[in-house]
Structure 1
């Protein structure tokens, strides 16, 4: 006879960990199934460096960041860690529209400053700004791996069970609930299933026993194998002076942030946004850095980041799981909740995504309609 749980959460990355934490803290019986280990290195939630920022051209997301920050502020004392390190953020470039971002931050009450390129160069001579610059000091760097482990630990403290090394092959409807199967023949019965499988979601969706109409209405989910590089500070004493940044032009969109312990605190992590190759799912990743991408980012560093040595001293690949609009997927059909909150910007929202997903799975709260397009299409049909 299979074991059973009221809620089974598939995947222990940021979104899955946050959902498990929220469900367990509400007193629900929760089992977390993780293919390898929480925040695994071949997933999307490993390492110590993700950007926390408020600047979005869409006011919806800025307001959501404010809401999420309140939950981060609850999480820190609960786990005894500071999971976001202050660094501030600069946004610039002809396609980034810093003046529009400034208007959004002004309307939402987020502290910010709009600087000329000359004034910004005086403040941060290590960066060659090419347009006016939006600065907002409330931004910082999220330690993703510690955040995952903190939320898993809190979930376990509230009674959740973590099963590491438990891969999910399929989910089948069984009576009023579901049975979750592993390739090894293991099985767990669940009243409700929350699937937060990151880059493995595209290959798993067809195995979830979802209603046909709901399945057909889900947005396309694509996976890219991205590259990130660490460039050494020319002045080792300048590490604390480096902000996070997003620079967007017609030719390239890049982002950067202090690399933290991922690369020995010695440099800035820099990457091209959505610069990686498409792959069918996370299972197809190679972990091999694209040499053309490396050269493109090195050329960028040479031109725009004079405070860095343009030869990377460390590099890695990672996964971006995207929807076409870069909106998240947080939707539910019967007893299955499906999450794909990445699209390259999901980390900062992790506690809020967990709250949204838990509310949806339990039926106690609402999720923004823009994240429930499959349900919306069913309602309109």
Structure 2
């Protein structure tokens, strides 16, 4: 989100410095790995508006950079009929490329998967080449003059009458101080300590999540077989799982790594600077059993585990707002990446006073 905001601000002629604590492509936050879901299975108009804008901006970035950032291989959503039907009706009302089909028809189209009830099929969806996307955002921000500084840990943000000062340490451990007209803070799991005393954030629960890649079975690894693996959501009811918190499952193909499968927002609460980088044996077994039940095309014993953080609001909605000279982007709750370039635009508008973010994302809505 910080890279997208830097890109949007710099392309408008603003002088921008981006401070990032870690190295490019690091694995200590939420935005690493090769792929993300390009998922439009939402009912809420503000998310669908943001999705449509993001889709256009991803395509603009593809054209500008010459890099492929999207594979619109489709998205299938099944399970909870209220959610599936609600998302379908919202998409159909907008004229989106969506249809509802039965579980048997879905299984015939995608024999590597099993389905639960009606299936929402979205054709203008699929996956984002996330690692490449971050590289492109950084390159485009720099092309427009943004100064990107890695290895700079921010420790304090101090507003004053005519601006804001940012303090921290550089890669050598020496202190630095920068002064600017304002600051955009998109710090993920570190949002609350950085903004303490500046922004009255809603509760943010930081968890460590552990999806994994699973290898397709031999009959699903023939030439061309990768092309038809869609991205997916499975909204299981509380009655279908041991806990309501394990009700949602998501994933997508990551070419060369396998099919990523993960439970949504089930991880243990953690300090982002003190993580295990390993799921519990119970969690690993639960994911293995889920894959064995719902993915006849995958080998459930081939899990290659990933570790990432979620910073989640109680509602699952994002926090996008401006308080004084501080513009905040937080609480992406495990479903923000696909919206990245559009959120960059929202943050740039807020930081420059052009427009406030949509009301459902503002602090008062939380």
Residues 69-116 of structure 1: per-residue CA shift (max 9 Å, x gap): 111121111121111112201100136632222111101111112111
Mapped to 2, the partners of 1:273 and 1:168 lie a distance apart of: 30
Alignment partner, residue 255 of structure 1? 250
TM-score by length of 1: 0.88
Equivalent residue in structure 2 for 1:220, among 197, 200, 203: 203
Q: TM-score normalised to the size of structure 2?
A: 0.91
Provide, for residues 304-329 of structure 1, a one-character-per-residue CA deviation record: whole Å limited to 9, x for no partner: 11110011341111111111111111
Write the distance in 2 (CA, Å) between the matches of 1:132 and 1:293. Answer: 28
Please state whether the residue corresponding to 2:159 is helix, strand or coil: strand
Structure 1: distance between partners of 2:52 and 2:325: 30
Q: 1:142 to 1:223 in 2, by over 3 A?
A: same
2: distance between equivalents of 1:186 and 1:60?
39
**Conservation of the 8 A alpha-carbon contact between 1:274 and 1:320:** yes
Identify which of 244, 252, 262 aligns with 1:271.
262
Match of 1:229 in 2: 212
In the aligned structure 2, how far is the partner of 1:239 from the partner of 1:311?
19
Counterpart of 2:363 in structure 1 is 373
Q: Which residue of 2 aligns with 1:242?
A: 229
RMSD across aligned positions (CA)? 1.6
Structure 2 counterpart of 1:319, from 309, 318, 331: 309
Distance 1:284 1:188 in 2: 28
The Cα of 1:269 is off from its aligned counterpart by 0.4
1:156 aligns with 2:142: yes
Paired position in structure 1 for 2:97: 111
User: Is contact 2:15-2:145 (8 Å) kept?
Assistant: yes
Give distance in 1, aligned partners of 2:287 and 2:81. 18
Alignment of 1:334 with 2:324, yes or no, is: yes
Whole-Å separation in 2 of the counterparts to 1:36 and 1:178 = 23
Match of 2:9 among 17, 23, 41: 23
How far apart, in 2, do the equivalents of 1:109 and 1:188 lie?
A: 48
Q: Which residue of 339, 347, 352 corresponds with 1:357? A: 347
Name the CA distance, whole Å, in 2 between partners of 1:353 and 1:149: 17
C-alpha distance in structure 2 between counterparts of 1:96 and 1:314, whole Å? 33
4+ runs deviating over 3 angstroms: none
SS at match of 1:308: coil
**For 1:147 and 1:96, how far apart are their aligned partners in 2?**
33
Pick one of 170, 178, 187 that aligns with 1:188. 178
* 2:45 pairs with one of 51, 59, 66: 59
Q: Could you tell which deviates more after superposition, 354-363 or 102-111?
A: 102-111
Cα distance in 2 for residues equivalent to 1:365 and 1:179: 23
C-alpha distance in structure 2 between counterparts of 1:246 and 1:26, whole Å: 37
CA distance in 1, matches of 2:116, 2:62: 37
User: Which runs of 5 or more structure 2 residues have no equivalent in the other structure?
Assistant: 242-246
Report SS of the residue matched to 1:42: coil
Summarize deviations over 1:272-294 as a string: whole Å, max 9, x none: 011211124x2232212222111
The runs of 5 or more residues in structure 1 that have no matched partner are 1-14
In the alignment, what sits opposite 2:244? Answer: none
1:292 aligned onto 2:282: yes
Aligned length: 350
Report the Cα distance in structure 2 between the residues aligned to 1:279 and 1:141, rounded to whole angstroms. Answer: 28
